[in-house]
Every structure is written in structure tokens, then in C-alpha cells.
């Protein structure tokens, strides 16, 4: 038998390949690469020196199923997507079996005719959740058809016997329309505890490369960039986040790295310098239209300020049919903005500035927004007739941005200081963006 790379869930075999499959590699990041010492067939700590050959080595990408589920969703494999693939595959299988019923060889073989009819009866009644739970049972018990009758602790049922009888590798036998084995993994992730380990062991395929490396860091770079990860957006391309300007883009990118490091690599934020794109709400609308016109297949999230200018700039996009890979949203309402100090013709006042004056600065945290014991106020500007509201702009933007980047860079360099600062609203903003994506 040749060398293989194996995927396991909670220590139970899920599937394997004789190569490093890029679709499964896309579920892990470089930081998930673990190199263990193996002593007495058990893990005994991590390898820290590539030149130390006094023990066996296990090389694997390791995460938990809660994180893997989020990554699958960010890659487009939502529950509804996977269920639709299942429904289509079952329909195609039923159509195929129905066509075979009239074959002379089938009509003349009573046993075979009965077998096909039994499969049709099962498929016509098969529910997606039943399929997923039976598949999970098969994996957790390490079942194969020849041993199924000898396993006393597993309740026999028609669906499980049907799945086992079809194939020793049943993962592609139901998902005929799309044999991506990540589909079933995504479906089953709803039925596991989030902490359950998902491991992609690649030892046999890369051990020779490991022994030739000069350092652990070199090996990590080699593994992570070894395979091409070029897919259509449903298969694995990064999400593209578009914002009103470069400052917003940099803030979101670095905040994601700090607060959600395990999924941050799945997002791509527009580089306004390289793209030579002007920053403003109107320019963002033009960029969205350009991406749509160019047929960009990546999933795109265009994020506008939660203010009058942002809502006004979105109006033209409501007049066109956005493709399914494009989502348009505003920054969310926040409690802080319900009673926030403003400056207008009548002087200082406290108002609800949600949907009128909430830019990204309002998510910086109270430790940034407060100066000399008071919140830095919003200044009311011009009136937008299309929206029917005044536009507000927070004062001292440069100061606020400087203070925020100071605490952001400090915590990126020293993560143990994270709890010393206020991240509540920034975390809420990022969670809102993530949830918009994974709930599609």
C-alpha cells in the first residue's frame, strides 16, 4: 500500500488520499500545522528540532470541529448549500435507478429487481438529517459492511445498512452531484461538540521533505504553500471585503487578525494603494458595480458606514439584481450610539446617531473614544434629501485612529494584554460581518 494522508474526526477515520488534497488543506492554516513526537504509539510533546531523529514523528494539521465548521461556511459550504447538493444527488440517483428497472437483465433477475426497488424505497423516504446521523454513526464506530453484523453496540437500521452496502467509501456515493467530501463533514459538524479534534495527518507524504528542512519555520512555509489553492469561490477562494476607504480596510484586517486569528486568513481586504481606488461611499458603490460587471466569482462583502452617506450610496445598488456572491451591508447599530454627544446649530446635544453618523471610529472602544472624561462628539453636517436625514461626522478622526492603532499593534505584539482594553464593539462588528457570511 502506498503512502496516504488521512482525515479523522475525534480520532475516528473519515477519509484518506494518496496525495495532499488541496480542498481539505483549505480548511487549515499554517498555524494548525503540528509536529508531534510519538513514543509508545502516543503523542509525547512537540518536535522543536528538525534534526532530532531520536523518535518517531507525526506531522498533521490539527484544529477543532467548531473552527472547521466556520471555515467551511466561509468557503461557501453552508448547511443549505450542502443540503441542496444532497437533494439533487438523491433525485439523480432515483432517476437512474428508475431507468434501470426496465433493463431486460433486471426484469429477468427477481433478486436484483427487488434490490433496486428496495433502494428506491429508501431513497424516496431518505431525509437529509437521517443520512447525516447515520453517516456519523458509521464513522464513530469504524464500521465496514463485512463487520457490521458483528458490531453489537450499534443499532442496525435500514439506512445505515443501505449506506454500508453501497460502498466502503460512501461519502461520494450519495453526493453524486458533487463528490466534495467536505460536504458531509460540514453537515456532521452540527452534531459534534465544537471541541472535537479534526486532524489531517500527512506524515507519510511529507516526512522526507521534513528531514531535508533546515528549520521548523521553513517546513511550515513549505507545507502551507506546497499545494495550489485556486478554486472558484464556492470551492475555496478568499472572501473579498470592500470598504469605503483604506483606513477602514486596515482596521478590519488587523482587528480580525487579533480577535479572530483562526479564521482571519479566509478574508481578503482590498489594498487601496495597489488597486489605486479612491475612498468614499460613492466610490465603493462604483467598485461593487465594476466587480459585478467583470464577473468576479469570489464572494464579495461591501461594507458601508452606518450613516446617512452610507445609506445614500447604497440606493443605486437596490435598483439592480445583485448576484448571489455579492452582499451589501452597513456597519451595525450599537448601544453606545443610542445616546451619543453631538454638535449642531443648537449646540451640544445627546442623540441616537445610529444610521446617521456611525463610522468605524464608533467601534474603537471607550478607552479610545473618551478624551478628558467625555466622548469626542459627532458634528452634524449637510442634509441628504434622498435619505431625509443629516450626515454626522465624528470629530478628531486622526487622533482616534492613532490611539486605536496604538492599542491594536500593542495587542498584536503582546496578545496577553488583550483584556486590558475595550474590544466589545469591535468584536461585535466583526461577529456581525462573519455571521452575515455564514448565515447565507
Both 11 and 99 in a single domain?
Answer: no
Kindly report the backbone phi and psi dihedral angles of residue 341, in degrees, each rounded to the nearest multiple of 5, phi listed first.
-65, 135
| 336 Cβ neighbours under 8 A, 6+ residues apart | 362, 366, 369, 425
Both 322 and 392 in a single domain?
Answer: yes
pLDDT tens for residues 338-368? 999 999 988 899 999 999 999 999 999 999 9
Both 257 and 222 in a single domain?
Answer: no
Both 311 and 427 in a single domain?
Answer: yes
- Of the candidate ranges 50-54, 328-332, 375-379, the one whose mean pLDDT is the lowest: 50-54
Hey, which residues does 201 pair with through a beta bridge? 6, 60
What is the SS3 assignment for 395?
Answer: coil
Asked if 193 contacts 69 with a C-beta cutoff of 8 angstroms, the reply is: no
| 152 Cβ neighbours under 8 A, 6+ residues apart | none
Asked if 63 contacts 27 with a C-beta cutoff of 8 angstroms, the reply is: yes
Instruction: Report CA torsion sign: 157, 160, 164, 166.
Output: positive
Both 33 and 126 in a single domain?
Answer: no
- Of the candidate ranges 111-120, 275-284, 290-299, the one whose mean pLDDT is the lowest: 275-284
Asked if 188 contacts 14 with a C-beta cutoff of 8 angstroms, the reply is: no
Q: Is residue 184 part of a domain?
A: no
Segments in 337-396 forming alpha helices (H) = 366-369
Q: What is the rounded distance in angstroms from the CA atom of residue 432 to the CA atom of residue 247?
A: 19
pLDDT tens for residues 130-186? 989 988 888 888 775 445 555 555 556 788 777 776 654 444 444 444 568 888 899
Both 403 and 317 in a single domain?
Answer: yes
Q: Is residue 222 part of a domain?
A: yes
Q: What is the rounded distance in angstroms from the CA atom of residue 327 to the CA atom of residue 314?
A: 11
Hey, which residues does 215 pair with through a beta bridge? none
Q: Is residue 420 part of a domain?
A: yes
Both 409 and 281 in a single domain?
Answer: yes
CB atoms within 10 A of CB 339: 11
pTM for the structure as a whole:
0.81
Both 258 and 396 in a single domain?
Answer: yes
pLDDT of residue 279: 60
Report how many domains make up the chain.
3
- Of the candidate ranges 41-50, 102-111, 156-165, 170-179, the one whose mean pLDDT is the lowest: 170-179
The range of the structural domain enclosing residue 11 comes to: 5-64+196-226
pLDDT at residue 394 is higher than 80: yes
Q: Is residue 426 part of a domain?
A: yes
Both 265 and 160 in a single domain?
Answer: no
Amino acid at each position: 500500500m502506498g503512502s496516504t494522508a488521512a482525515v479523522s474526526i475525534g480520532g475516528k477515520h473519515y477519509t484518506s488520499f494518496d496525495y495532499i488534497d488541496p480542498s481539505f488543506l483549505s480548511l487549515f492554516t499554517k498555524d494548525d500545522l503540528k509536529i508531534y513526537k510519538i513514543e509508545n504509539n502516543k503523542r509525547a510533546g512537540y518536535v522543536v528540532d528538525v534534526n532530532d531523529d531520536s523518535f518517531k514523528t507525526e506531522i498533521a494539521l490539527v484544529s477543532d470541529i467548531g473552527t472547521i465548521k466556520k471555515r467551511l461556511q466561509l468557503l461557501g459550504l453552508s448547511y443549505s448549500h450542502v443540503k441542496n447538493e444532497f437533494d439533487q444527488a438523491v433525485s439523480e440517483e432515483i432517476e437512474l435507478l428508475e431507468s434501470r428497472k426496465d433493463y431486460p437483465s433486471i426484469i429477468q433477475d427477481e433478486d436484483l429487481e427487488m434490490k433496486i426497488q428496495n433502494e428506491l424505497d429508501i431513497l424516496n423516504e431518505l431525509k437529509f438529517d437521517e443520512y447525516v446521523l447515520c453517516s456519523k454513526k458509521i464513522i464513530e464506530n469504524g464500521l465496514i459492511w463485512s463487520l457490521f453484523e458483528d458490531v453489537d453496540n450499534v443499532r442496525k437500521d435500514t439506512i445505515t445498512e443501505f449506506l454500508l452496502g453501497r460502498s466502503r467509501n460512501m461519502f461520494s456515493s450519495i453526493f453524486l452531484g458533487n463528490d466534495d467530501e467536505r460536504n458531509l463533514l460540514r453537515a456532521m459538524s452540527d452534531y459534534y461538540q465544537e471541541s472535537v479534534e479534526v486532524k489531517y495527518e500527512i506524515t507519510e507524504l511529507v516526512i522526507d521533505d521534513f528531514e531535508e528542512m533546515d528549520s521548523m519555520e521553513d517546513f511550515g512555509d513549505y507545507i502551507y504553500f506546497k499545494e495550489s489553492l485556486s478554486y472558484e469561490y464556492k470551492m475555496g477562494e478568499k472572501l473579498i471585503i470592500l470598504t469605503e476607504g483604506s483606513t477602514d480596510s486596515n482596521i478590519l484586517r488587523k482587528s480580525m487578525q487579533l480577535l479572530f486569528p483562526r479564521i482571519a486568513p479566509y478574508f481578503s481586504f482590498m489594498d487601496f494603494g495597489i488597486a489605486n481606488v479612491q475612498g468614499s461611499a460613492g466610490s465603493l458603490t462604483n467598485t461593487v458595480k465594476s466587480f459585478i460587471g467583470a464577473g468576479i466569482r469570489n464572494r464579495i462583502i461591501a461594507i458601508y458606514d452606518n450613516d446617512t452617506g452610507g445609506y445614500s450610496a447604497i440606493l443605486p445598488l437596490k435598483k439592480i439584481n445583485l448576484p448571489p456572491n455579492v452582499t451589501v451591508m452597513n456597519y451595525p447599530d450599537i448601544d453606545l450610539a443610542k445616546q451619543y454627544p453631538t454638535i449642531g446649530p443648537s449646540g451640544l446635544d445627546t442623540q441616537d446617531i445610529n444610521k446617521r453618523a456611525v463610522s468605524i471610529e464608533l467601534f474603537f472602544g471607550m478607552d479610545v473614544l473618551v478624551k478628558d472624561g467625555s466622548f469626542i462628539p459627532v458634528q452634524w453636517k449637510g442634509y441628504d434629501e434622498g435619505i431625509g436625514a443629516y450626515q454626522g461626522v465624528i470629530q478628531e478622526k486622526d487622533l482616534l485612529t492613532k490611539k486605536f492603532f496604538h492599542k491594536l499593534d500593542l495587542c498584536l505584539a503582546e496578545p496577553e494584554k488583550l483584556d486590558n482594553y475595550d474590544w466589545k464593539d469591535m468584536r461585535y462588528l466583526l461577529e456581525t460581518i462573519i455571521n452575515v457570511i455564514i448565515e447565507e
